Amino acid sequence: MPDHTEHTHELLPGTLDMLVLKALQLGDMHGWGITERLLVGSGNVLQIGQGSLYPALYRLERQGYIRSDWAMSENNRRARFYGLTAAGRVRLARERQAWRRMARALDRVLAMEG
Amino acid sequence: MARIRDAWRLFTGLFRRRLMEERLASERSFHIEMATKRHVNAGKSPEEARRLALLEFGPRERFAEEARDEYRSRWMEEVGQDVRYAFRNLRHSPTFTLTAVLTLVLSIGATTAMFSVVNAVLLRRLPYPQPDRIAVLCELNNENRAQRPCNSLNPGNVMYWQRTSKAFATIGAMREARVSLVPPNADAVSVLARAANATVFKIMGARAATGRLFDVVDDTGSGANVVVLSHAFWRSQFGGDSAVVGTTVRLNTFSYTVVGVAAPDATIFDPVDIWLPLRFQPQQLNQPGRSLRGIGRLRDGVSMAQADDEMRAMAAQRAELAPNVNTNWTAYALPLHERLVGGTRRALWVLLGAVGFLLLIACANVANLQMVRAASRQREFALRISLGASPGRVVRQLVTESIVLTGVSTVLGLFLAVKGTTALVSLLPAGISAQALHGVTANGTVLAFSLLVAVGTGVLFGVAPAWQATRSDMQAGLKDGGRGTAGASRTSARLRSALVVAEISLAVMLLAGAGLMVRSLSALQRVRLGFDPAHSLTASMTIPRAVYRTDTAVVNFFRNAEARVRALPGVEAVGAISYMPLSGERSASGFNVEGRPPAPAGSEPVGDMRAVTPGYFDAMGVTIVAGRGFTEHDDIGSPKVGVISETLAHSLFPGENPVGRFLVYEWNVLERVEIVGVAADVHHEAVDKQPFMEIYRPLTQFVYGSMYLVVRASGDPGAIVAPLRAAIRAVDPNVPLARVNTMNELVAQSLGRTRLSTTLFALFGGLGLVLAAVGIYGVMAHTVQQRRHEVGVRMALGANRGMVRALFVKRGVGLALAGVVIGTAGGLLATRLMTKFLFGVSPGDPRTFALTAGVLGAVALVACYLPARAATNVSPVSALRGE
């Protein structure tokens, strides 16, 4: 049984907010569900530490990109569900665009041949 | 609905920690439960799964702390943080904080104290209805304009104005005198009485606290003997007992009925103890003599200028109707406020300006200190920004520090101001009307002002460093360990240099002003007063003419009194005079020299007439420079004699011996007086005023019922006050002593305003100098610190210490020179505003300015040299190594 930390990678700085927003674009979800979505979605590569997830959630909520509410989870437990706000959608779109540009640029640099 | 409630919770969560903790705990336990479930699904035992989940989640406290940070860090929270951080920061650099706070406390305190005086004296409304509609009426002698810009009024003229004036709705006159008051069943007290027309109360809009004030009946010749008590006198003498209304008191032995007590604010000019009616008799219309003060309330729709025109026109009419009284005289009106504060207005504004300069220097200084500090904190800022703080947040932090600094300083400064204002008022001498000073306190206006000052100060010195912080390149700041990059530090260095130049030039201006004041004061102190104030005591005595009906009785009273006082142990000499030098009282008359063609009426030479006893010149230390003084042989029936002052002798008898000549003048009857001696000039009016022409007459031939006693003691004059009172009581218990002062006190009072202005100016100037020195030192020290590397290189390459020091000193001296030049130019302009209160020195006095420039130059040189020396004493190796 391999330790899960072996196949998770450290997140690129500044990308957590974008990933959280993306996870919530798929529908309202609680904190745990967000980590699950990101883990599954990344093919078990991105394991988000709780220590950074919750501060990020509170920050995004304060900044108005997401909202939160109490609701019942799939196993009938009371949980805090987060969802995107309009501002959050806009921000996600913008970050995504910026990311694509950055990724393309990095690719091009890395593909340079001597 | 749930969202609103939640938002509310989120908001109130700021204050209700528990709600937030609940949410955190709930989220955490849910998360751990889910993680446990996953581990169980993956085949772990429930215990192992839970252990792993807890481990993954990390310590409870760290989660709570991090989450809380995000959760709560909203605006107010951040401000709170900033403030706490600011306090922590300031505590960690005590030298900076202490310097800055001290600088600010002193300057804010001084500014506020100065402003509360200005506010009370110049800006506050006088306590009358429509105070700007009240005018003061003055007469003016064309020959004597400068000496008496607002002369007393002739009663006949006042009667004429009251009858004729269209511009004034009401005109009232008043006059003050000391009288002896005997309350029922008590000893006599000397009180200051003001005889006034009933209209004076009407113009003031005054009310009675109890009983009534005067009305028109009291102004008529047939009115009864009535008296109105001032509120303060009523409280102190009668314990505020309303039963006093209707009782009888004795004034100079006459019976007067107390009809009322004036309200506390029913006062004008200087406060008095009691009010008596002032009644004009028809025969006064054309009688000479000027003794009244007049005020008037403008009729609706009439301007002050129109009233002034009418006064001049009426004076011209009176000059035709009563030429014996009014030839060469005119009259005018001016606003009451102008009359009350006219002389002090400029002095106060200049002092407020000076203290404003000090405040500016303080601002520049603290800004400089902040910038120097900010520059050395660039690494900290860079670190904070790279850790996620926005540049805006860093700027806000700096501004918060400034605000915290100003806030603390303002609170302390206000405290200082309240104390300082009390001290200032007690220092302020006669000259500012007591009425104008009444109520100098730190009130709402003053608080608002100091708040404005505080905010202005905070912005002034907070903006520069914040601006600098946003300009500097954070990454570079991090990389080179706080030495700053060339571009950013060059702009900020330029800004700092500009601040230093500004500081120095302001300090030069302040110091130059202070220097001029000091030189004025020392010139005043060198003035030969013409009398010897050491060891002398003076007191005024007024005897009731109803008892002492004949001249002989009056003369005998003073002879007896002097004899008894002379017999007291410790008394060296005793004399008396009708109007004391420096008391501000005088009485003048035109006169002619016998044997010369008389000057036309109204343009004769004018001399002050004073009655003295034979012992006066000796007791006062006035030298007789020619002829003789008076003796006991100059008696009532003996030949009429007089002693003149040197100024009179020089003006009218240049190159001649006046002794043996005769003066003629009219004083009730025609007088012909032989000059028997010449006395040294005495500064009667004030130390800074020229001596007048004086004519002294023996009391026996020029009888006054009110005299000032002058006693020269062998030791401390204060010690003979009690025996003196006892001695006078023994002669007549109904004659109280009043205005007991040592001569030194009178001289000090006369110099008081100059001394106060000088003290304040010197204080401001000294503080300005210190602040400027700190400023230039700070900047040079920082420059040196920043260029240590360069110093190391230079010295490693063979430059000697002297060369390196010269490099820095040259730069500092350049700044100082620029400041001195600008400051001198500004000072030459600004000190012109001070011309009026300088004595014996011109506003552009080159010696003062040269000295000021020299002092500042020297201070600047030292402030530059010290850091330069410190730099070159470091070994090149350690300098090159950097940190």
Do B362 and B496 lie in one domain? The reply is: yes
Query: What integer pLDDT is reported at residue B460 of this predicted model?
Result: 67
| Chain Cα centroid distance, residue B615 | 40
Do B288 and B412 lie in one domain? The reply is: no
Domain-located, residue B451: yes
Residue type (1 letter), B676 = V
Domain-located, residue B739: no
Q: What is the pLDDT of residues B781-839, one digit of tens each?
A: 777 777 777 777 887 787 787 888 888 888 888 888 899 999 999 989 888 888 877 88
Of B23, B63, B69, the CB nearest to A50: B63
Domain-located, residue B114: no
Give chain B positions within 8 Å (CB) of A54.
24, 27, 63, 66-67, 70
Give chain B positions within 8 Å (CB) of A30.
27, 30
Q: Which two tokens stand for residue A64?
A: 């108005």
Give chain B positions within 8 Å (CB) of A79.
27, 30
Three-class SS of residue B701? helix
Q: Give pTM, 2 decimals.
A: 0.64
Tell me, letter by letter, the H, E, C secondary structure of B88-141.
Answer: HHHHHCHHHHHHHHHHHHHHHHHHHHHHHHHHHHHHCCCCCCCHHHEEEEEEEE
Distance CA B43, CA B724 (A): 115
Query: What integer pLDDT is reported at residue A102 of this predicted model?
Result: 86
Contacts of A99 (CB under 8 A, 6+ apart): A15, A18
Domain segments of chain A: what residues?
7-110
Q: Which two tokens stand for residue A47?
A: 């394991």
Nearest chain B residue to A1 by CA distance is B42
Contacts of B114 (CB under 8 A, 6+ apart): B348, B351, B352, B355, B424, B760
**A69 vs B23: CB contact, 8 Å cut-off?**
no
| Fold of the A7-110 domain | Arc Repressor Mutant, subunit A (1.10.10)
B592 by Cβ neighbours in 10 Å (0-12 / 13-18 / 19+) ranks as middle
Do B511 and B591 lie in one domain? The reply is: no
Q: B66 and chain A: CB distance < 8 Å anywhere?
A: yes
Domain-located, residue B742: no
Q: Which residues pair with A84 in a beta bridge?
A: A66
Do B288 and B407 lie in one domain? The reply is: no
Domain-located, residue B98: no
Domain-located, residue B388: yes
Residue B97 and residue B90 in contact, taking contact as beta carbons nearer than 8 Å = yes
Do B711 and B811 lie in one domain? The reply is: no
Do B777 and B708 lie in one domain? The reply is: no
* Alpha-carbon dihedral angle through residues B809, B814, B817, B818, given to the nearest 10 degrees: -150
Domain-located, residue B755: yes
Domain-located, residue B128: no
Query: What integer pLDDT is reported at residue B242 of this predicted model?
Result: 86
The alpha carbon of residue A55 is apart from the nearest alpha carbon of chain B, in Å, by 5
Query: What integer pLDDT is reported at residue B62 of this predicted model?
Result: 66
Q: A80 and chain B: CB distance < 8 Å anywhere?
A: yes
Q: Which residues of chain B have pLDDT under 70?
A: 1-20, 60-78, 124, 144, 146-147, 221, 342-343, 375-376, 379, 384-393, 425-443, 460-492, 602, 874-883
Do B309 and B398 lie in one domain? The reply is: no
Distance CA B314, CA B332 (A): 9
ipTM score of complex: 0.83
Query: What integer pLDDT is reported at residue B436 of this predicted model?
Result: 47
Q: What is the pLDDT of residues A7-23, one digit of tens each?
A: 445 566 678 889 999 99
Do B829 and B707 lie in one domain? The reply is: no
Count of CB contacts below 8 A, A vs B? 59
Residue B771 and residue B362 in contact, taking contact as beta carbons nearer than 8 Å = yes
Three-class SS of residue B737? strand
Give chain A positions within 8 Å (CB) of B66.
51, 54-55
**B66 vs A54: CB contact, 8 Å cut-off?**
yes
Do B320 and B359 lie in one domain? The reply is: no
Do B629 and B762 lie in one domain? The reply is: no
In this structure, are strands B274-277 and B189-196 parallel, antiparallel, or unpaired? parallel
**CA–CA distances in Å: residue B389 to residues A14, B296, B385, B466, B478:** 14, 69, 4, 15, 14
Query: What integer pLDDT is reported at residue B434 of this predicted model?
Result: 45
CB-CB neighbours of B317 under 10 Å: 12
Choose from A8, A36, A50 for mutation: most chain B CBs within 10 A.
A50
**Following DSSP, what letter does each residue of B37-64 receive, concatenated?**
HHHHHTT--HHHHHHHHHHHH--HHHHH
Query: What integer pLDDT is reported at residue B453 of this predicted model?
Result: 77
Greater pLDDT, A92 or B486: A92
Q: B34 and chain A: CB distance < 8 Å anywhere?
A: yes
Do B231 and B202 lie in one domain? The reply is: yes
Distance CA B353, CA B345 (A): 12
Q: Which residue among B327, B358, B375 closes a domain?
A: B327
Range(s) of the domain holding residue B673: 545-733
Specify the number of domains making up chain B. 4
Q: Which residue among B294, B327, B360 closes a domain?
A: B327
Q: Of B605, B131, B572, B525, whose CA–CA distance to B338 is shortest?
A: B131
The alpha carbon of residue B383 is apart from the nearest alpha carbon of chain A, in Å, by 17
Q: Of B102, B104, B99, B87, whose CA–CA distance to B781 is shortest?
A: B99
Choose from B65, B71, B72 for mutation: most chain A CBs within 10 A.
B71
Q: Of B836, B822, B854, whose CA–CA distance to B757 is shortest?
A: B836
